[in-house]
A and B are shown apart, each in its own frame.
Chain A
Amino acid sequence: MRVSEQQIGDEWSSASQVGQALRHRREQIAQRWADAPLFRTVFTVSRDEAVEACKAVLDALAEVAEAGRVEDVDAPGFFVVREQLARMSASRARTGLSPAQIAGEVAALRSSAVEHLTAELEQEPTAVVHGALLALTTLMGTLRLVVMETALSDGAELINRQRQQLLEVATPVIKLWDGIVAVPLIGTLDSARSQVVMESLLEAIVAQQAKYAILDITGVPTVDSLVAQHLMKTVAAARLMGAECVVSGVRPAIAQTIVQLGLDLGGVVTRATLADALAFALRGLGVGFGPTSQGAVAR
């Protein structure tokens, strides 16, 4: 027990020595770091800005070290600089750097910190210097992890945001005629998408007082039983609101697949093209055409 307590004590004092050294050499290390690509290319307004950013990171590292939590990614000391680190890694990522390359740039900060720590502890016995160097190495490794973590969570958030945007972008409801609305479906029709489609279509039916709603699946590459189920639910919901639904854009390959799959779309009006569906709806509304445009509704 004595030994391990001794060890813990040593680690603790090594860590706090690192903390003290970082605070003492704050100015010098910050000046060195400000020239490193990680800071220089992110804080471009002035060098002072970069130096200030370096000092913020150094203060955080010193605080974490003094708290004896050199291995703790969630140490409270990092909270203050987390946003700044996220901004830095995002900015580096925008220039085309991979997460590994960004991590490499963080690792590159270690050498100047090590230099100053060794200079600071010049008078100390070798064992103490070794302990402090080990603590500093661990601390810089933890900083690298923190940067990676912020970079990755940033990416995940971006993906999530884009997915939400895609849901909205990909489902416009178009008014084709008085009383006729259409939704061109594009891409995969999963549960989330089909929910958005259904909602925006039903809203459009009310807003446009539509009697006909056309679901165009020309842009849907695969119609499997789940997609068909979503389509049928949408058709049924539109029907409840008094609108007749037409599914258009049924291509030959899709038609054959649906038949072999055993899907029964008997209750749904389907047409090969959007034009056919529009003609069907116009006839249903009793829209007449003059003799000159007869060809347009000849089918």
Chain B
Amino acid sequence: MTTTGTDTHRGSPTCLPIRSDMDLMWIRQEVRRLATEAQFSLVQQTKLVTAASELARNTLVHGGGGHMEATVLNEGVHTAVRLVFADSGPGIADVDQAMSDGYTSGGGLGLGLGGARRLVHDFRLDSEPGRGTTITVVMWHGGVPPTRQAI
């Protein structure tokens, strides 16, 4: 997550805790607010909020709680919202398996991770068993800029 892009400006990040179902509601509202601020279309807003809801619930249910950091990025005419979900839970042993649709360890539908990846433009998962999981997603408004930094 190096941020050396000369044209990339970013607002100050918002950090929200993920410890209970009430926090999930707060996260959805906050992400919707940021997406509106970044002038996302209604479809884009809905997709980002849904992805955030899935990932935040994973952080809560599988990671035992953590936090989300949200930042609005600007690169030329392109605007993006970046969300980072971090927990210090047990981590994911088999990432490919966890990403596959229908696989679940928590009694859900098993669509959270794979679905969230399809809903956003950039998706990165860092996990190590015993060390927790960090998932970074980015959604661009006005198309994905060709010069964007790898997240």
Contact = CB atoms under 8 A, between A and B. Distances in A.
Interface of A: 188, 190-191, 221-226, 228-229, 252-254, 256-257, 260-263
A253 B42 contact: yes
Query: Which DSSP category, helix, strand, loop or mixed, fits chain B's interface?
Result: helix
A190 to B, nearest CB: 5
Contacts of B53: 222, 224, 226
A162 to B, nearest CB: 13
Given A253-B46, A260-B47, A263-B111, 16 more contacts: A190-B21, A190-B25, A221-B28, A222-B53, A225-B111, A226-B57, A229-B108, A229-B109, A253-B43, A254-B46, A256-B43, A257-B46, A261-B54, A261-B115, A261-B119, A262-B115
Contacts of A191: 21
B111 A262 contact: yes
Contacts of B111: 225, 261-263
B112 A225 contact: yes
Contacts of B108: 225-226, 229
3 A-B pairs with the lowest CB-CB distances in the bound complex, closest first: A261-B115, A253-B46, A224-B53
Nearest to A190: B21
A261 B118 contact: yes
Nearest to A224: B53
A224 B111 CA distance: 9
Query: Which DSSP category, helix, strand, loop or mixed, fits chain A's interface?
Result: helix
B101 A257 contact: no
A225 B109 contact: yes
Interface of B: 21, 25, 28, 32, 42-43, 45-47, 49-50, 53-54, 57, 101, 108-109, 111-112, 114-116, 118-119
A226 B53 CA distance: 9
Contacts of A224: 50, 53-54, 57
A253 B43 CA distance: 4
Contacts of B43: 252-253, 256-257
Contact of B47 (A188, A226, A228, A257): A257
B140 to A, nearest CB: 15
Nearest to B114: A262
A252 B53 CA distance: 19
Contacts of B114: 262
Contacts of A253: 42-43, 45-47
Given A229-B109, A260-B115, A222 B47 contact: no
Nearest to A261: B115
A222 B118 contact: no
B61 to A, nearest CB: 10
